[in-house]
Structure 1
Amino acid sequence: MPRVQLPAVTPRRKAWNKGRLIGQKRPLLPKQVWAIRARLELAGYLRDLALFNVAIDSRLRGCDLVKLAVTDLVKEGRVRERVSVIQSKTKKPVQFELTENTRDAVIAWTRSPEMIGCRFIFPSRFHARPHISTRQYGRLVRDWVTSIGLEPSGYGTHSLRRTKAAEIYRKTGNLRAVHLLLGHTKVDSTVRYLGVEPEVALTIAEGIDI
């Protein structure tokens, strides 16, 4: 009896996102920001506290945040109130302010023994790398949100980038201002990035009387 040649069957690979929460990561709420900040302060994690605070204030992408040099933030022993950096993605400058809490955290970190002779504000503990990687930054974010009881799959490095921008938009409704602060090239990108909830939009509209 002749053998029947069956068609080859290619095994289906498991989808990379199966069982994972994907899509835009949520911004942190103000109370969540303060909860993480308090935990880092109590634990005495100077680097993590400085990194967390700078991430919130700067609204920088992770690739730009980890590459910040000491001289970007500190001049003549004092932390700058306003900073300007060139973004890796757009090659355009973006400005951001550093609040008093952040300036205090940065100066405490830069004066620590671990920072002696370091060029980058967030140096890597591995000799082959001059600064922490975006992957390491992502792991730290996961640890921070987990520490206050949040589901880590819903948050990421972009959560910190979006946090202050979302709060500014919620309070002012000024899309153009948020567009400039995030350093987007197109306003459409800002609209998608904010992921404005209908309830937030209605609240803003209720406050406008014409």
Structure 2
Amino acid sequence: MKAADEGSGARTPWNKGKLTGQKAPLKLKEIWSIRIRLQLSERVRDLAIFNLAIDSKLRACDLIKLRVCDVCHGHQVASRATVMQQKTQRPVQFEITEQARDSVEAWIKAATLTAPDFLFPSRLHGSPHISTCQYSRLVHRWVASIGLDDSSYGTHTMRRTKASLIYRRTKNLRAVQLLLGQTKLESTVRYLGIEVDDALEMAEQTEV
């Protein structure tokens, strides 16, 4: 019994010293601060990942598995793309803004990628594309580079950012739910960090 107690006492909780729960979205000025830093340092791949992550609002597992053909029509990056989500097995469509298209095209050219290739291939042997852990490290690095506490941010930050900006501008929960490709309104509410009762009331007001 004593040995068991000692063993359990030596075990450190995975989340000790870490902030858990919902991760904060980026503010508009923070998006531009990170974007400009990546541009000035000529980190072509990071800039492409950052811009596409913001625009697509995809979960990490879907973003890292994108192929060139998912976002390109011929040799040009499309203004819109549709991806099948791994979690829900439902398609979600997203807009790719001009600056994102430019950065993704620059990355494809620099990495000499072709249509069937993964858009963000891994630099490690045996891994066809970057992992969620690698992507997470990039997000923490971007956030820390502009002086923010990176423990408050994560990959869900990238997914929530544009959705939060759109919601603040429109107050349209249904539209944000559609853009995130979520099946339940409650999931959208959690992402936006608003009260459930208030959210449901607003959703009812927007119904036709």
Q: TM-score surpassing 0.5?
A: yes
Which residue number in structure 1 is paired with residue 171 of structure 2?
Answer: 173
Which residue number in structure 2 is paired with residue 190 of structure 1?
Answer: 188
Indicate which of 88, 112, 115 corresponds to 1:115. 112
Structure with the bigger percentage of helix:
2
- Indicate the RMSD between aligned Cα atoms, in angstroms: 1.9
Indicate which of 17, 20, 24 corresponds to 1:19. 17
User: Normalising to structure 1: TM-score of the pair?
Assistant: 0.88
- CA apart distance, 1:14: 2.6
- CA apart distance, 1:85: 0.4
Structure 2 counterpart SS, 1:111: helix
Task: Verify: 1:8 aligned to 2:11, yes or no.
Answer: no
Larger displacement relative to structure 2 (126-135 or 12-21): 12-21
Question: For 1:134 and 1:107, how far apart are their aligned partners in 2?
Answer: 22
Indicate which of 120, 124, 127 corresponds to 2:125. 127
Which residue number in structure 1 is paired with residue 205 of structure 2?
Answer: none
- CA apart distance, 1:194: 1.2
Return 5+ residue gaps in structure 2 as ranges. 203-208
User: Normalising to structure 2: TM-score of the pair?
Assistant: 0.88
Which residue number in structure 1 is paired with residue 206 of structure 2?
Answer: none
Which residue number in structure 2 is paired with residue 208 of structure 1?
Answer: none
Question: For 1:53 and 1:133, how far apart are their aligned partners in 2?
Answer: 18
Indicate which of 44, 50, 53 corresponds to 1:52. 50
Note the alpha carbon deviations across 1:104-129, whole angstroms, 9 max, x for none: 001111111x2345701101111311
Query: Which of these two proteins has the greater Rg computed from alpha carbons?
Result: 1
Indicate which of 147, 150, 154 corresponds to 1:149. 147
Structure 1 counterpart SS, 2:2: coil
Return 5+ residue gaps in structure 1 as ranges. 1-6, 205-210
Question: For 1:99 and 1:145, how far apart are their aligned partners in 2?
Answer: 22
Percentage of matched positions with identical amino acids? 58
Which residue number in structure 2 is paired with residue 83 of structure 1?
Answer: 81
